[in-house]
């Protein structure tokens, strides 16, 4: 993971509502038509996007909790961050 | 597959056991109503999965968890607290935590998840658990940075503090006067930003300072 991405500190955008469903959660921005279904891990990452937590820290925590390789954790977290960014949920 | 279900309330214990039996018809299921009974069954039957209520009387689930981890039993604990309790249990070696809100179906799904070799954390607690890990990692990194500020002699003093040594004993080990040892200790406490020798020793223990290569004390 390159340094820029590792030190990236995404933050949640706008006011949102959350609806928990069996497969995770649906996050909706109240100021736009954006509504995104997130699986449990992606929703947890969204909760961590407070503007202070680095992506590298998220990767390390996922690695520790799920006992996956650092390479797999990087893929899982960066994919989740990219999807949420593209959906307009985070900076 | 052998499963142990441990909960003190019969409706809960029997309900969970029945749900597991329905999903896993070939499973052998044992039940326990308290920690001594649970411990006895663990020794005798060595289950593949243990599903334990965190409030199992009289001692709760935590004392069993480390033992279960050593026996390589995939352990699930039903938590009543929040992410802090979940993180403590996960760090003790359990394979997963379940919240009561997951219901019987969720508990059975969790059994399958850990049998497949994965960790189970309820969606509602996952963010909090990850945040707890991040906070702990930051604390350890901060502690490591503080230890790096110490001089070589101060690090030697810290290692001895971590071993529970008092100033006189430290002075003797380092062939210095007790007055000099106390000065070093004051500097160590100041640089580590702690207010007692015990805090300094605890910080050092967290970082493994003062341990020999096989984990024992110097």
Which long-range contacts does B7-10 make (Cβ < 8 Å, 24+ apart)?
A: B7/B33, B7/B52, B7/B53, B7/B56, B7/B78, B8/B33, B8/B34, B8/B53, B8/B55, B8/B56, B8/B57
B90 interface with A at CB cutoff 8 Å: yes
pTM: 0.77
Kindly list the residues of chain A whose beta carbon comes within 8 Å of any beta carbon in chain B: 20, 24-25, 40-41, 43-45, 47-48, 53, 57-58, 60-62, 64-67
pLDDT < 50 stretches in chain B: 212-218
B1 interfaces chain A, CB cutoff of 8 Å: no
Averaged pLDDT score across all residues of chain A: 90
Residue B59 contacts A, CB cutoff 8 Å: no
DSSP state at residue B119: -
In this prediction, residue B75 carries a pLDDT of 80
Chains A, B: CB contacts within 8 A come to 47
Residues of A in contact with B131 (CB under 8 A): 47-48, 53
Least Cα separation, residue B133 to chain A (angstroms)? 6
**Max CA separation in chain A (angstroms):** 38
Q: Are strands A35-38 and A24-29 parallel, antiparallel or unpaired?
A: antiparallel
Q: B130 — contact with chain A (CB < 8 Å)?
A: yes
Assigned token pair, B27: 């499973």
Q: What is the pLDDT of residue B188?
A: 93
Question: A61, B137: Cβ pair inside 8 Å?
Answer: yes
pLDDT tens for residues A41-72? 999 999 999 999 999 999 999 999 988 899 99
Higher pLDDT, A68 or A3: A68
- Report d(CA B152, CA B147) in Å as an integer: 10
Which one has a higher pLDDT value, B155 or A32? B155
Residue with tokens 């979940």: B86
User: In angstroms, what separates the C-alpha of A91 from chain B's closest C-alpha?
Assistant: 19
Between B123, B129, B137, which is nearest A60 by CB?
B137
Report d(CA B166, CA B48) in Å as an integer: 46
| Angstrom distance (rounded) from CA B32 to CA B48 | 15
Q: Which pLDDT belongs to residue B88?
A: 87
Q: What is the pLDDT of residue B211?
A: 52
Q: What are the beta bridge partners of residue B51?
A: B5, B76
Region A66-87 average pLDDT: 91
Contact B126 A40 (CB under 8 A): yes
Distance from CA of A68 to the nearest CA of B (A): 10
> DSSP states of B172-208 as a string?
HHHT--HHHHHHHHHHHHHHHT-SSHHHHHHHHHHHT
Q: Which residues contact B132 (CB under 8 A, 6 or more apart)?
A: B83, B84, B87
- Report d(CA A73, CA B15) in Å as an integer: 37
Quote helix, strand, coil % in chain B, to nearest 5. Answer: 60, 15, 30
B152 to chain A nearest CA, in Å?
A: 30
Query: What residues in B contact A45, CB-CB < 8 Å?
Result: 130
Helix B197-207 vs helix B152-162: angle between axes, to the nearest 10 degrees?
A: 90
**Dihedral in degrees, nearest 10, Cα atoms B140, B142, B143, B146:** 160
B118 touches chain A (CB under 8 A): yes
């Amino acid at each position: 993971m390159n340094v820029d991405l590792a030190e990236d500190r995404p933050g949640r955008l706008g006011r949102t509502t959350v609806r928990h469903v069996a497969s995770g959660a649906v996050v909706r921005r109240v100021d736009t038509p954006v509504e995104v279904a997130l699986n449990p891990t992606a929703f947890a990452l969204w909760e961590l996007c407070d503007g202070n937590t680095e992506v590298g820290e998220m990767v390390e925590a996922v690695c520790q909790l799920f006992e996956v390789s650092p390479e797999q954790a990087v893929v899982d977290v960066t994919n989740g961050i990219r999807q949420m960014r593209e959906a307009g949920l985070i900076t | 597959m052998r499963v142990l279900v441990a909960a003190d309330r019969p409706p809960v214990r029997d309900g969970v056991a029945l749900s597991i039996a329905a999903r896993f018809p070939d499973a052998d299921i044992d039940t326990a109503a308290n920690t001594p009974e649970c411990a006895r069954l663990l020794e005798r039957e060595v289950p593949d999965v243990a599903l334990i209520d965190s409030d199992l009387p009289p001692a709760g689930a935590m004392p069993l968890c480390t033992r279960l981890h050593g026996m390589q039993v995939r352990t699930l604990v039903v938590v009543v607290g929040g992410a802090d309790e979940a993180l403590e249990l996960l760090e003790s070696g359990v394979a997963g935590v379940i919240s009561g809100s997951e219901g019987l179906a969720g508990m059975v799904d969790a059994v399958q998840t850990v049998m497949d070799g994965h960790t189970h954390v309820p969606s509602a607690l996952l963010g909090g658990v990850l945040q707890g890990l991040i906070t702990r990692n930051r604390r350890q990194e901060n502690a490591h940075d503080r230890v790096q500020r110490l001089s070589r002699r101060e690090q030697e003093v810290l290692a001895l503090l971590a071993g529970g040594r008092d100033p006189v004993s430290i002075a003797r080990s380092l062939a210095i006067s007790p007055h000099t040892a106390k000065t070093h200790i004051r500097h160590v406490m100041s640089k580590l930003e702690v207010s007692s020798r015990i805090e300094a020793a605890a910080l050092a223990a967290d970082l493994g300072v003062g341990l020999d290569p096989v984990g024992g004390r110097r």
